[in-house]
Amino acid sequence: MSLRVQHIGTGKMRAVFLHGLFGQGRNFMTIARSLSDVATWSLIDLPNHGHSSWTREFSYDAMATAVIKELRPAGGSVVLVGHSMGAKVAMRVALKAGSLVNRLVVMDSAPVTRELNASLDETLDTMLAMHLPHLTSRTAADKVLAEACPDRAIRSLLLSNLQREANGEWSWNANIDLLRKNLSAISEWPSISGTYRGRVLWLTGTESQAVREGDEEAMQNYFPYLRRVEIPEAGHWIHADQPKAVSAALRDFIVG
């Protein structure tokens, strides 16, 4: 399996970012650039996203294994940062191959099963039904998607997966069909044993519903050396809503 990786920065520490559902490594570009002096960042496109390989099945453990294979040849350990779906992958990497993870950052996620937004089914069905050969522009795609997905920020994230080919036609660079069929699996936290005994920073948004009361116990069970930092006025995409606050928290955690 081939993973697309972009490298940012020249800092001494090695750091890796794993994005959320329908995201790409480049979603963390602004934060990585702001921290380029403290770490050399690897921004990974997870399987079935961005420019990485597509698979026939969805599996958190398979994604974690792909990330481990990407990290292992370089030797040493990294600061591993994951957001949402990518945070679940990052947690499993830490639990499976703790020696590769110097420190772990979990962004607005928890090791629990939590249903995704119910409207996502309809939104993805609309995306799959788009007749891409007749699509004239990204703006036209946005108009088609607006009825099923009125939230402009979510539409923007989804449409970031729309790419124009050399022949002028449009295509999806995310495996929309596979991900649509596996929304229930994406919402789950498959059973896994063990603990990660390194330092863990848990960043959550005060306006987000992704992390709820009781999730801290689940985090503590896997990650006993846990510190939670709440980012004010931030929803689920905390690194987009409050990039300066997230950068400051990461800088303190990495260099501290």
State pLDDT tens for residues 2-46: 999 999 999 999 999 999 999 999 999 999 999 999 999 999 999
State pLDDT tens for residues 161-189: 999 988 888 999 999 999 999 999 999 99
Q: Kindly list the structural domains of the chain, giving each domain's residue range(s) and its CATH number in brackets, ordered by start.
A: 5-113+189-255 (3.40.50.1820), 120-183 (no CATH)
Q: How far is residue 111 CA from its own chain's centroid?
A: 14
The amino acid at 171: S
Catalytically annotated residues: 84, 177, 236
pLDDT at 124 over 90: yes
Mean pLDDT of the region 100-106: 98
Two tokens at 185?
Answer: 């699996």
Nearest to 25 by CA among 98, 99, 81: 81
Tell me the pLDDT of the chain averaged across its residues. 95
Query: Is the pTM of the predicted complex or chain greater than 0.85?
Result: yes
The residues, any chain, with a CB within 8 Å of residue 203's CB and separated by 6 or more, are: 105, 106, 107, 108, 228, 229, 230, 231, 238, 246, 249
State pLDDT tens for residues 132-168: 988 999 999 999 999 999 999 899 999 999 999 888 8
**So what's the pLDDT on residue 1?**
78
pLDDT at 117 over 90: no
Asked if residue 39 lies in contact with residue 14, where contact means CB atoms within 8 angstroms, the answer is yes
State pLDDT tens for residues 45-95: 999 999 999 999 999 999 999 999 999 988 899 999 999 999 999 999 999
pLDDT at 96 over 90: yes
